[in-house]
Amino acid sequence: MKSPVYFSRLKNGESHKDCLQSLLGTIGSHFSEIGAQGIIGIKMTVGDEHSTGYIKPELVRMVVDTLTAQGARPFVFDTNVIYKGRRQNAVDHLNLAYNKGFTPENIGCPYIIADSVFGTDSRALKVNFKNVKEIRVPSLAGILDDLIVLTHITGHLLSGFAGSVKNVAMGMASRAGKQIQHSSIKPSIDTHICTMCGSCIEACPESAISEHSGTAYVNQNLCAGCGECIACCKLGAVNINWREEAHIFAERMSEYATGILSRVQRKLFLNFALDITKECDCIAGDDPRIIRDTGVFASQDILSVDRATYDMLTKRMDLFSRGGKISAHKHLFKYGQEIGLGSLDYELHEVGM
């Protein structure tokens, strides 16, 4: 059976709010299935400080109002990142979100950072995939029954296409989980930054970190690559290795997304194909759009909604290929279906025609 994907096309002269409203009016029954009077998590990101293409607060408010109208209690959440910027800790992260208009008054619900102030809320959940045998996620990811994922579609330096799968896999992982997905190379210590506070030594589950010549030192033979030292270091003294073979990166994201979503009872995914940039919201800044605004997609199947969005955007040419090579997103689609993340066999229903 094909997975239904609903699509609201942005018409000439129509606002983004009008486009979303057409979609919400059609998929209202799906909202009523998602914890009608329960606590519902809405996953999204505001992007980094200079990002301008993120999903705007007024659009988030429309989703929140749809949920509260049926008695639900929604909240918006994100997690801290591992690269340098204003989203490494919850204090700076929340201030950034508020500066961009994501205050409770504007979006109609709380905005929280799910993995604690410094990103140290990281629990291991057992899975059994080719690359990953456990996933490291905030406690919230293991107990959330109802989930709505709002994703700003972009390109991505490594995966090519960035949609709901990346939003869940990276965005719902703890900082340690993000490191695991990004690299097989184990972390090391920047001795110029380290103050030998000892937090990484205390946090390391393998006792792989010790003091050496007045600074912390990672024994690569003992290190398991779990990334807990990255999460606990408040100074950014733990070096992050970003280099990874793109297909392995895609597989790990598929595995993380599958592991996370397997624990969520009811979910709905909305892809916003608006203000699409070549790079993701972490580094895009105010980059120009690579394609005209297209519309908003929705489905209860994460793989179907990503594939339908990708197919619609690449009818004429693959905007997300890098250097003429087969991009990792194509491998992600195939591998994701193989491990049960979702289905690539979808049926597109265009609304408001």
Same domain assignment for residues 221 and 253 = no
Give pLDDT, residue 229: 81
Give pLDDT, residue 325: 47
Question: Domain of 90: which CATH number?
Answer: 3.40.50.11440
Same domain assignment for residues 119 and 9 = yes
Q: How far apart are the first and last CA of the chain?
A: 24
Provide CB contacts within 8 A for 60, sequence distance 6+. 42, 44, 76, 102, 107, 150
Same domain assignment for residues 15 and 137 = yes
Same domain assignment for residues 249 and 233 = no
Residue pLDDT, tens place only, 9-40: 999 999 999 999 999 998 877 767 776 678 99
Of the candidates 267, 307, 308, the one whose C-alpha atom is nearest the C-alpha of residue 40 is 267
Give pLDDT, residue 232: 76
Q: Please give the structure tokens belonging to residue 125.
A: 């959940």
Which range of residues forms the domain containing residue 261? 3-182+244-351
Query: How far from 315 is each of 292, 305, 309, 311, CA to CA, in Å?
Result: 13, 16, 10, 6
Same domain assignment for residues 165 and 39 = yes
Same domain assignment for residues 150 and 290 = yes
Give pLDDT, residue 322: 67
Work out how many domains the chain is built from and give that number: 2
CA 267, CA 299: separation in Å to the nearest integer?
A: 9
Same domain assignment for residues 226 and 325 = no
Would you mind telling me the total number of residues written for the chain in this entry?
Answer: 353
Same domain assignment for residues 253 and 235 = no
Give pLDDT, residue 321: 77
The pTM (predicted TM-score) of the whole model is 0.86
CA 37, CA 119: separation in Å to the nearest integer?
A: 29
Same domain assignment for residues 104 and 219 = no
Sites in the chain below the pLDDT cut of 70? 31, 35-36, 184-185, 224-227, 231, 240-244, 322-326, 353
Give pLDDT, residue 252: 94
CA 197, CA 202: separation in Å to the nearest integer?
A: 10
